[in-house]
Structure 1
Amino acid sequence: MTPPSPAPKLELPPLSLYIHVPWCVRKCPYCDFNSHEQKGPLPEDEYVDALLDDFRHDLPYVQKRDISTIFIGGGTPSLLSAGAYQRLLTGLDAMAAFASDIEITLEANPGTAEREKFADYAHAGINRLSLGIQSFDPQQLQQLGRIHDEHDAARAIEYAHNAGFRRLNLDIMYGLQAQATEAAMSDLQQAIAAEPEHISWYQLTIEPNTVFYKQPPPLPPEDTLIEIQDSGLALLSQHGFARYEVSAFARPGGQARHNVNYWRFGDYLGIGAGAHGKITQRSRQRILRMHKRRQPGHYLQAAAAAKKQAQNQNPGNLLNRYPYLADAGPIETDQLALEFVLNALRLREGFTHEQFEQRTGLPFSVIGKQVDSLQQRQLLSVDGNHISTTDTGYQFLNTVLEAFV
């Protein structure tokens, strides 16, 4: 009798860092992120201190890896000063080495106060900017609750180029209120004309716990949405933007490395109010999920308590207390395969048997039947050990993913 094959061993993937800044000027009616309207002066210095201390408590999870990418999201991260980011990035680099080619992305709004900081952000070490344009149509911007207009959007892009940001992403929505195909294409054409290396082009969706969920806007009918998507995909391809993920389009070399690491089921630490992390613990052969305290006030209270403890006790003992955590625990084995596939099949490149086993610690056979069935239905393409969606499978990705649930 042939002995059973040994269980695959988890390998340490690349490590990224997500930093959450929870404040914004005004909450948009479609937003379901952990963002809170700014009331009074921002506790900038206090928050940077907390972020650095939060990361210090997470250092055991670094496991001798360089930080390959950093993404600063929100909220509106560009509310913080360039000096705050200079201090933050310097402090982080002193605790855990940055990769020599590290990608550091900052989300920014096109408002006047934010764009005037762009050159200083570049000087602080941020080398990729993601602008939340959403639309160039003044009426749509107003309906979306954005605090900028179409002129602010154009000037922000100009400022970003002038500040030296060669790595630039523009966020553009479609399927907006009563939006016709021509209007959606006008937004996309203006984004392309701005010559970014990356465009995130995605449909407006109505999420629970948002104003739009309680008061739904009149959205385009399904046939219009299909026409918008088909026209937009053709337009982006015509101008050299390759679709490498469901809503992500890049010119050669312009992929968002931070997001690609997510989708490849890489590791990432999350610091800041409400930040999430996913970490491989090779010594324990498990993958851990971590959620930080969601409310900014509670997060800063945890920082104050940690500081007080450090003054009264041996700081080394704090490494096992993790005061910023709201919740942490291993991903259950029966969920690992699903989580991997939910991420990896969003990428056009797909994945290999080896990548599945190294990132999950599971044998490929646990998803083998589903892969075979989807291949027979011509929704998945299997080339040796490489699996990816067919064009039809990518068009009906939800159907593909449901097969693994």
Structure 2
Amino acid sequence: MNVQPLTQHRPGDGAAAQFSSAPPLSLYVHLPWCVRKCPYCDFNSHVAGAALPQAAYIDALLRDLEADLPLVWGRPVISVFLGGGTPSLFEPDAIDRLLSELRARLPVLAGAEITLEANPGTLDTGRLAGFREAGVNRLSLGVQSFDDACLKALGRIHDAAAARRAVQVARACGFERLNLDLMFGLPGQDVDQALRDLDTALAAEPGHLSWYQLTLEPNTVFYSHPPPLPAPERMEAIYEAGLARLAAAGYSRYEVSAYARPGHGCQHNVNYWQFGDYLGIGAGAHGKLTLPDGIVRLAKYRQPATYMARASAGQAVAERRRLDHDERVFEFLLNALRLVDGFTWRQFGERTGASLGAVRPRLQEAARQGLVTVDAHGARATSRGFDLLDSVLECFLPTSVDA
């Protein structure tokens, strides 16, 4: 595909930003309903009623996409991610229709990664087989824990037996690309419990593990009524021992909380972290696109009923804003420094349209603090910087970036 160079000039940017090509494009589809809202969840999710409006919602998704198509016309899609909420609440026939209609409107590459997020409490053999037949080729299971007491504390609808069964059935249904979401630092959890969880996940031999600490996010039940979490020294012990176990089992850490065997990294998320482009359709979905007049972010209406009404009228966009110079630089670093390999200078220039002068002094200061490594090819966080990533990113807040 030939992509025309994109140029931008904005007062205060200095020289016009030069984009030699558009970055890879992904598609995110938000399916916002779940059985029950978990007390730690700050995602745009809503408790499902007696019956999901599956057909009507897919109609709205397609109208939403059609309104966005002029922004990406002709660009191939490298990955599709069905997130939520709990997308596995949708019937396999609905997912089949959705994916077929998406392919009719977008040039989704052959062999593109198609991910579905799923809750073990919503799955059985028939549903998983149906999702696989519909074209889903990567499954992300929200296990969170294999301990019944921890699952109850987290408000999950499944138990440990359901989690183990979901992994086994997913394998039997042909899901070779499998991710398990697993948390540590759970209410009342000790070191042995956390490592037993991790060992159970490793024994299942998924290609990918998302292993991360429970955090108390604003606007959640846990934030308003904090549960008893492990002390910091216990968290540190879990973390250090867990890293050793993951490495010994052959899982390479390639992002802050992502670990994979060779060839099993999440292509969709890597595109986010490398500041690629993505369309976002669905209630509350966000998108980031490189356009002739710069990089824009789009956000869709959050409430499902409002979204469906607006999308059906071709007006699903609730907010559209163009990133200024400092925002482009900061958002690139916010994502790229999450990757173990960091970024190259070429990637920085191509994805931000900014000069190295915009970040060099700040990178040098972070390097002096031992937080990043800078060489002739690019930059990446050190081991210490990875553990103190918020401190690294503070160096590049928009108010601090040298334009």
Match of 2:3 in 1: none
Provide the rounded CA distance (Å) in 2 between the counterparts of 1:20 and 1:145: 22
Letter in 2 for 1:247: S
Provide the rounded CA distance (Å) in 1 between the counterparts of 2:379 and 2:311: 45
Match of 1:292 in 2: 300
Match of 1:269 in 2: 279
Q: For 1:22-33, what aligned pairs fall within 5 Å after superposition?
A: 22-33=32-43
Q: For 1:189-228, what aligned pairs fall within 5 Å after superposition?
A: 189-228=199-238
Aligned partner (choices 65, 74, 87) of residue 75 of structure 2: 65
Letter in 2 for 1:385: H
Deviations 1:197-220 (A, max 9, x none): 000000000011111111100000
Provide the rounded CA distance (Å) in 2 between the counterparts of 1:114 and 1:258: 26
- Tell me, yes or no, if the aligned pair for 1:70 and 1:258 is still in contact at 8 Å: yes
- Tell me, yes or no, if the aligned pair for 1:116 and 1:159 is still in contact at 8 Å: no
Q: For 1:5-404, what aligned pairs fall within 5 Å after superposition?
A: 7-10=16-19, 11-113=21-123, 116-281=126-291, 283-284=292-293, 286-304=294-312, 306=313, 322-404=314-396
Deviations 1:131-154 (A, max 9, x none): 000001101101100000011001
Provide the rounded CA distance (Å) in 1 between the counterparts of 2:368 and 2:311: 54
- Tell me, yes or no, if the aligned pair for 1:109 and 1:115 is still in contact at 8 Å: no
State percent identity of aligned pairs: 51
Moved more, 53-62 or 375-384: 375-384
Distance 1:280-1:114 versus aligned 2 partners, 3 A rule: farther
- Tell me, yes or no, if the aligned pair for 1:8 and 1:358 is still in contact at 8 Å: no
Q: Number of residues paired by the alignment? A: 383
Moved segments of 4+, more than 2 Å: 5-8, 112-116
The runs of 5 or more residues in structure 2 that have no matched partner are 1-13, 398-403
Provide the rounded CA distance (Å) in 2 between the counterparts of 1:163 and 1:114: 10
The runs of 5 or more residues in structure 1 that have no matched partner are 307-321
- Tell me, yes or no, if the aligned pair for 1:107 and 1:132 is still in contact at 8 Å: yes
Deviations 1:322-360 (A, max 9, x none): 501111110122211111101000000111111111111
Distance 1:114-1:367 versus aligned 2 partners, 3 A rule: farther
Provide the rounded CA distance (Å) in 2 between the counterparts of 1:8 and 1:299: 34
- Tell me, yes or no, if the aligned pair for 2:256 and 2:339 is still in contact at 8 Å: yes
Match of 2:401 in 1: none
How far the C-alpha of 1:63 sits from its partner, in A, is 3.7
How far the C-alpha of 1:39 sits from its partner, in A, is 1.2
Deviations 1:90-113 (A, max 9, x none): 111111111122000000000154
- TM-score of the superposition, structure 2-length normalised? 0.93
Provide the rounded CA distance (Å) in 2 between the counterparts of 1:92 and 1:77: 16
Distance 1:113-1:355 versus aligned 2 partners, 3 A rule: closer
Match of 1:316 in 2: none
- Tell me, yes or no, if the aligned pair for 1:112 and 1:152 is still in contact at 8 Å: no
Deviations 1:290-327 (A, max 9, x none): 000100010111244x2xxxxxxxxxxxxxxx501111
Letter in 2 for 1:69: S
Q: Secondary structure at the match of 2:120?
A: coil
Deviations 1:125-183 (A, max 9, x none): 00000000000110110110000001100110011000000000000000001211110
Provide the rounded CA distance (Å) in 1 between the counterparts of 2:228 and 2:144: 17
Q: Secondary structure at the match of 2:298?
A: strand
Provide the rounded CA distance (Å) in 2 between the counterparts of 1:94 and 1:62: 15
Match of 2:10 in 1: none
How far the C-alpha of 1:392 sits from its partner, in A, is 1.8
Letter in 2 for 1:93: R
Letter in 2 for 1:64: G
Deviations 1:363-383 (A, max 9, x none): 111001011112222221122
- Tell me, yes or no, if the aligned pair for 1:29 and 1:144 is still in contact at 8 Å: yes
- TM-score of the superposition, structure 1-length normalised? 0.92
Provide the rounded CA distance (Å) in 1 between the counterparts of 2:302 and 2:311: 13
Provide the rounded CA distance (Å) in 2 between the counterparts of 1:288 and 1:7: 16
Distance 1:113-1:199 versus aligned 2 partners, 3 A rule: closer
Provide the rounded CA distance (Å) in 1 between the counterparts of 2:124 and 2:189: 28
Distance 1:115-1:220 versus aligned 2 partners, 3 A rule: farther
